[in-house]
Structure 1
Amino acid sequence: MSFFSLKTDDKDKYKVYIENFERAYLNETTRFYKQKAGQYLTEHGILSYLHYADQKLKEEEKRARRYLESVPECNSVPLLVRRCVDVFVTEFREQITNECPNLIENNDIERLRLVFVLLDHTGDISSLTQSLESFIVKQGLDNMLKNKDTIKQDPESYVQQLLDLYRQFSNLVRDAFLNDPRFLTSRDKAFQKIINDISVFQLDMPARATRGTTRTTLAESRCPELLAQYCDILLRKGTSTHKKYSSEEIEVKLKDVLLLLKYVQNKDVFMRFYKGALTRRLILDTSIDNELEESIVIQLRDVGMPAEFIIKLQQMFKDLKLNRDMNEEFRTVCPSSRNNNTMMDSFSFKILSAAAWPHPGDKIDVSLPAQIEDVLPEIEEFYKKKHSGRKLTWYHTVSNGQLTFTSKNGKYDLDVSTLQASVLFSWNHRPTNKLTFSELKLATNIPEIELKKTLWSLISFAKLKQQLIYYEPHVESYQDLNEMSLFWINYDFTIIRAGKIQTRGHINMIQRLQLNTEKGREEENEEIMFLRGERTKEAIVKIMKTRQRMNNAQLQTELIEILKNMFVPSKKLIKEMIEWLIDHRYMARSETNISEYVYVA
């Protein structure tokens, strides 16, 4: 059948086609499938219906391209597709979206792709992206809670669990949703929630961003601490994790940490723990590779760590390089070296920039061996000649050395902290005596709480079957040691491996180098919160100076965007800092709108 109409106006040349053919074609197709679609869904269920709907959409689009006009004036094919989408998808959207969580849980790639294609025709896939995000969060937190006790003690298990989850759903987004940016965004939002969740692990931080005002705390995720610990066990010599991987595998795993780090909100907390662990590795010379360490610092910069943090880390490496040259020069001019002080062959010092390295806390005056006491003034004099006006402060709590201990069974090299060495040297002139806690306190000059911790590390070292020092009476923790506790050297000491006594051996007794005291850690947490407040104030002033006038919602959005690479400020913190800036006349509330702020020059 053909239709002809003689017209002189091009505008109406498709009018007969549209009114007499296209309209009938669209209406009849719609009527036919309205009956068929519902019937098919009832008889075969939603899973089969997904295939049916996709197949019929393709068939009808192909048929439409064959029989309908495709010129721009008609737009027939898109109209037909739109009608079919309404019938096959929009009409049954609820049934389709209700099946999404099950499909995601079963990793049903084929049907998820069908759902994606069908819903994408409607222009609204929010129900599918929300299902994906909700499922990732639920599964991630369920897994964390299920394995809480294990991963709390093992950062490697924690990181591996996060990575497994990330890869699982990254593969799902790739295979089912073709890496569509909307689904990548849902995955990223979900991981941000998991990583920053406090229901599994939490870290207590001061509640206020001003110094000395309160002891109340706010809970934050411990994820940045665990990530920093994992970096440490990968980069530190002697750990079981480091031993089982090649250099190439370690680099890959460190890049995995950087991948997870981009989802961490409180990056300033990660910086604190990472810097503390790096300091221990550099001071104790336990890093597997300093070049790799420097490379990681550059990569931390690339994932958005603040420039001031990176500059300080880079200064730490510069200090070590300068110290190597300074130590060599000192040995050539040192009087002790010329006087045949044999200790000078293995003696070294580290002079570190106070602005770059973590502050070791309160200075403790420890009784040192005479050989070391004699050398320190020489180092100070040598340094003054090179750098006039600078003052050196010795922090013995972060110093360390190696002692050789001779027992009845052999000779053993012991890596010890300066505090441990001071305790052991207390027996030099009375090797068989039993010394009370009071006598050791007098001999070492170590404050009571630090002396208790140091003694505990020598009388209950977990890696030893026989302890270096024996004591009585028995107590359960270092806190229970008292003035009358007795200590003596175990001259039957030995290292046992595979059930056999070793006549020679080496053991690191330093464990975790204590950079500061409990009080120091609390002050460090307060410092983090104080700096958050300062950064928030600086950012608000910068924004207001540029914008001049801004409402509260816009200010919060822009502020979070500026600070998110370091931390995400809470609404409470933002409010406190705005009030502070208003009180100090950096900005003011608008006279006509209470939720609007005005910059004050």
Structure 2
Amino acid sequence: MASSNMLKDKNQLVFEDKWDNMRPTVLKLLRQEPVTRAEWQDLFWDVHSVCLWDDKGPGKVHKALQSDILDFINQAQGRVMSHQDDSALLKSYIIEWRKFFTQCSYLPKPFGQLEVSLSGKTISTSQRKNQAEDSEVRKLMLDSWNSSIFSSIKKRLQDSAMKLVHAERNGEAFDAQLVIGVRESYVNLCSNAEDKLQIYRDNFEKAYLDATESFYRAQAPSYLADNGVQNYMKYADAKLKEEEQRAQRYLETRKGCNSVQALTECCVHVLVTAFKETILAECAVMIKTNETERLRLMFSLMDRVPDGISPMLKDLEDHIIEAGLADMVAAAEIITTDSEKYVEQLLVLFNKFSSLVKDAFNDDPRFLTSRDKAYKHVVNDTKVFKLELPTKQKGVGSKTQPESKCPELLANYCDMLLRKTPLSKKLTSDEIEFKLRNVLLVLKYVQNKDVFMRFHKAHLTRRLILDTSADSEKEENMVEWLREVGMPADYVNKLARMFQDVKVSEDLNQQFKEAYRNNEHSAIADSINIKILNAGAWARSSERIPVSLPVELEDYIPEVEEFYRKNHSGRKLQWHHLMSNGIITFKNKVGIYDLEVTTFQMAVLFAWNQRQYEKITFENLRLATELPDTELRRTLWSLIQFPKMKRQVVICKPEVKSPKEFNDGTLFWVNQDFGVVKNSKLQKRGKINLIGRLQLSTERSSDEDKEGIVQLRILRTQEAIVKIMKMRKKITNAQLQTELVEILKNMFLPSKKMIKEQIEWLIEHKYMKRDEDNINMFIYIA
């Protein structure tokens, strides 16, 4: 027993002796006093020795080290707490903290063996690099500082720092490093390896956010009340930017820390979200008065607020619809009669609204979408003028549904640009292309593009038949541009086929003329052009109108048919005189004139060929021409009331105000005083175009045209439904409607009623059926 006590005493003396040698160096390190290389190396060796003596050595070193660290911290606390002034207290604390924290990196290094002994693990070379940062000694130092000095004065530190930030917000000067120093101590104090920012986040960040919110909650309402919404927006925007910059200085910005974002959200909530309704109440007026700068500011503020943009989008849409329709209605008198003015008006509106979106909302996609949605409403509106389409199939009823006349007017405008007109003649090729591109821009917003297609094709047919295209290259380019903007391929392909037919016809004409050069009809063969056109690409109506042609033409027809049969066996020719035209020479006592006429006009005028001075009744003209009553009336009216003529070709008695007033006894005769008047002078020679707009349809078939649009829509809808059903096999009603609209949207927007009717028709005709267990589920029948 005696020898054992002696050994214990010896070990006790040995540790105390060793610690007395180690302690001066430890204290020097704590105080940031110079340490010699020998002292530094001795400390490493002494710690190593003591920790390896026995199991109790590491614990004694740890306890002694903790005691000295606490003594040092208590002394530092005394120096800090001696200051009553907040600013002086902060300065003193930051000086003490920075010195202490610096030593947190150095002091643990000599105690590496202590780490190993306490943990019982060997530390690798790579781990030694991070040893100081994660070491037990560093943890001991930080925890000791936290539990003593920091815990006792952290509220004062925090409050003092927040007072300084408050002073800065009020424009007072101070040392920013004081706040930064406090923040650093909060950030670096936590020894929790899992969350090293815990102390900072739970204390400093929270206090900073609370102080910011309190400051602006007190200031913002009064500023808004005193200065109004427009000045308040500038104030809020400036404060948000100011606080974001301040947060970059005073809050932690390391990766993974979202303090700046949290602060921004806090400021947005108290400065913008709290006054969202008041600010947005000004939006509609600003849009109406085109206050783009203020709208841009409102947009930047509201874009930070959840769902802040939605009311602005609604205000923009309402404005575009209201202002757009008001402008169209105001200009209705001009634009309803002039397709050029109509299209230009639409483009002016589009450019005006586009400028507003660009200047006020920086072309933000959400606002561009709203512009498109509202502009589409304007383009497809039926207030100014409308196209009446029958809603039911032929023979069932005459109810009509109104649609915008926009697609028809766009087609008319394209015709003016592509045809030889005063408009196309005064424009350069580039200007025509620019205007056509503008038409395509508007066409993108047209809901029922199938109407545009129908009228555009009719105009193209006239231009190609009458050879009145201003630029054949532009014509073909236009077809490709239509393809680029998403027009249905089958429609575009038919237009392209029309150009091919015209080129093929030119070759056929040449061959025919060469074949009949030595024939008795060679003279007429040279003066006639035939156009052999493919019915699938060109046909608008199956209707063929009877007419008695002049003998010269009548004799010529069998020879053309014979020639064609020799070259193309098995193909059937059908003559469409409705689409034909020619030039006749008119001679009277005034002079000689070339008249460009339709075949029907030619047939009527040839009734006087052998009896030029006679008066012929309406009934006899009907017998001579064999034209249907309606067509004869329309043709005669074009000869007695041609708008551009000062002297008409034909005169009638009694005078009438419309072709409907003609009766069987109405007399008609050739005007022997007919002549061409230019600049108030009567010309002895001249050329007059009496064709005007070549009629491609009769009055009866004009209604058929509209019916045809509806019928084609029905077929397209049926085709699309079958296509979807074939692919899906089984589909819900809602999904079918969605997919159907997606397929047809480039042509027209099918109404729910039409979709329902065609689904019922397809069920009735066994293309599909309803699921027996679910009435809203459809199944394809193969």
**TM class by smaller structure:** over 0.9
Which residues of structure 1 form unaligned runs of 5+? none
State the 1:72 CA deviation. Answer: 4.2
Contact persistence 2:634–2:659 (CA under 8 A) = yes
1:508 aligned residue (689, 699, 704): 689
Alignment partner of 1:305 is 2:476: no
What is the alpha-carbon distance in structure 2 between the residues aligned to residue 423 and residue 366 of structure 1?
Answer: 10
Contact persistence 2:321–2:378 (CA under 8 A) = yes
Give the letter for the 2:718 counterpart: K
Residues 149-198 of structure 1: per-residue CA shift (max 9 Å, x gap): 21110011110011111111112222221211111111111121111112
1:40-59 equivalence runs, <5 A: 40-59=223-242
Give the letter for the 1:115 counterpart: M
Match of 2:374 in 1: 190
Alignment partner of 1:595 is 2:779: no
Structure 1 vs Structure 2 CA RMSD: 1.7
Give the letter for the 1:319 counterpart: D
Match of 1:135 in 2: 319
State the 1:419 CA deviation. Answer: 0.7
Alignment partner of 1:278 is 2:467: no
1:29 aligned residue (212, 231, 238): 212
Match of 2:339 in 1: 155
1:44-443 equivalence runs, <5 A: 44-124=227-307, 125-208=309-392, 210-237=393-420, 239-334=421-516, 338-339=519-520, 341-443=522-624
Give the direction of change, closer, same or farther, for the CA distance of 1:419–1:260 in structure 2 (3 Å limit).
Answer: same
What is the alpha-carbon distance in structure 1 between the residues aligned to residue 251 and residue 200 of structure 2?
Answer: 9
Contact persistence 1:361–1:515 (CA under 8 A) = no
Describe the SS at the equivalent of 2:535.
coil
Residues 112-150 of structure 1: per-residue CA shift (max 9 Å, x gap): 111111111114211111111111111111111111121
Give the letter for the 2:328 counterpart: M
Contact persistence 2:648–2:674 (CA under 8 A) = yes
What is the alpha-carbon distance in structure 2 between the residues aligned to residue 108 and residue 398 of structure 1?
Answer: 55
Worse overlay, 506-515 or 440-449: 440-449
Work out the number of aligned pairs and report it: 598
What is the alpha-carbon distance in structure 2 between the residues aligned to residue 53 and residue 553 of structure 1?
Answer: 46
Match of 1:558 in 2: 739
Give the letter for the 1:267 counterpart: K
Which residues of structure 2 form unaligned runs of 5+? 1-89, 91-181
State the 1:24 CA deviation. Answer: 1.5
Give the direction of change, closer, same or farther, for the CA distance of 1:341–1:431 in structure 2 (3 Å limit).
Answer: farther
Describe the SS at the equivalent of 2:687.
strand
State the 1:67 CA deviation. Answer: 0.7
State the 1:73 CA deviation. Answer: 4.5
What is the alpha-carbon distance in structure 2 between the residues aligned to residue 358 and residue 278 of structure 1?
Answer: 12
Worse overlay, 580-589 or 99-108: 580-589
Residues 69-123 of structure 1: per-residue CA shift (max 9 Å, x gap): 1134441111111011111211111122221111112211111111111111114
What is the alpha-carbon distance in structure 1 between the residues aligned to residue 521 and residue 712 of structure 2?
Answer: 50
What is the alpha-carbon distance in structure 2 between the residues aligned to residue 379 and residue 387 of structure 1?
Answer: 12
What is the alpha-carbon distance in structure 1 between the residues aligned to residue 600 and residue 617 of structure 2?
Answer: 17
Residues 500-536 of structure 1: per-residue CA shift (max 9 Å, x gap): 2222222110011111112212222222222222222
1:18 aligned residue (196, 201, 205): 201
What is the alpha-carbon distance in structure 2 between the residues aligned to residue 496 and residue 205 of structure 1?
Answer: 42
1:480-495 equivalence runs, <5 A: 480-495=661-676
Match of 1:539 in 2: 720
Describe the SS at the equivalent of 1:493.
coil
What is the alpha-carbon distance in structure 2 between the residues aligned to residue 489 and residue 541 of structure 1?
Answer: 59
Contact persistence 1:587–1:600 (CA under 8 A) = yes
Q: Which has the higher relative contact order, 1 or 2, with Cα contacts under 8 A spaced 6 or more apart?
A: 1
Give the letter for the 1:323 counterpart: S
What is the alpha-carbon distance in structure 2 between the residues aligned to residue 243 and residue 291 of structure 1?
Answer: 15
Describe the SS at the equivalent of 2:575.
coil
Describe the SS at the equivalent of 2:570.
coil
Describe the SS at the equivalent of 2:772.
coil
Residues 563-584 of structure 1: per-residue CA shift (max 9 Å, x gap): 1011111111111112222223
Give the letter for the 1:44 counterpart: N
Give the letter for the 2:385 counterpart: F
Match of 2:38 in 1: none
What is the alpha-carbon distance in structure 2 between the residues aligned to residue 413 and residue 266 of structure 1?
Answer: 42
Match of 2:64 in 1: none
Describe the SS at the equivalent of 2:635.
helix
What is the alpha-carbon distance in structure 2 between the residues aligned to residue 6 and residue 328 of structure 1?
Answer: 99
Give the letter for the 1:574 counterpart: I
Give the direction of change, closer, same or farther, for the CA distance of 1:137–1:320 in structure 2 (3 Å limit).
Answer: same
Give the letter for the 1:65 counterpart: Q
Describe the SS at the equivalent of 1:310.
helix
Worse overlay, 191-200 or 549-558: 549-558
What is the alpha-carbon distance in structure 2 between the residues aligned to residue 470 and residue 565 of structure 1?
Answer: 49
Residues 392-412 of structure 1: per-residue CA shift (max 9 Å, x gap): 111212111111212333222
Aligned-pair identity in percent equals: 53
Structure 2 length as normaliser, TM-score? 0.74
1:9 aligned residue (181, 192, 196): 192
Contact persistence 2:190–2:198 (CA under 8 A) = no
What is the alpha-carbon distance in structure 2 between the residues aligned to residue 588 and residue 8 of structure 1?
Answer: 71
What is the alpha-carbon distance in structure 1 between the residues aligned to residue 190 and residue 232 of structure 2?
Answer: 46
Contact persistence 1:475–1:481 (CA under 8 A) = yes
Give the direction of change, closer, same or farther, for the CA distance of 1:562–1:340 in structure 2 (3 Å limit).
Answer: closer
Describe the SS at the equivalent of 1:510.
coil
What is the alpha-carbon distance in structure 2 between the residues aligned to residue 74 and residue 556 of structure 1?
Answer: 49
Structure 1 length as normaliser, TM-score? 0.96
Greater C-alpha radius of gyration: 2
Contact persistence 1:360–1:398 (CA under 8 A) = no
Give the direction of change, closer, same or farther, for the CA distance of 1:388–1:600 in structure 2 (3 Å limit).
Answer: closer
Worse overlay, 564-573 or 579-588: 579-588
Structure with bigger helix share is: 2
State the 1:487 CA deviation. Answer: 1.1
Contact persistence 1:361–1:520 (CA under 8 A) = no
1:472-487 equivalence runs, <5 A: 472-487=653-668
Describe the SS at the equivalent of 1:20.
helix
Describe the SS at the equivalent of 2:544.
coil
Contact persistence 1:110–1:176 (CA under 8 A) = yes
Describe the SS at the equivalent of 1:204.
strand
Give the direction of change, closer, same or farther, for the CA distance of 1:594–1:359 in structure 2 (3 Å limit).
Answer: closer
Give the direction of change, closer, same or farther, for the CA distance of 1:375–1:168 in structure 2 (3 Å limit).
Answer: same
Residues 428-454 of structure 1: per-residue CA shift (max 9 Å, x gap): 111111111112112212121111111
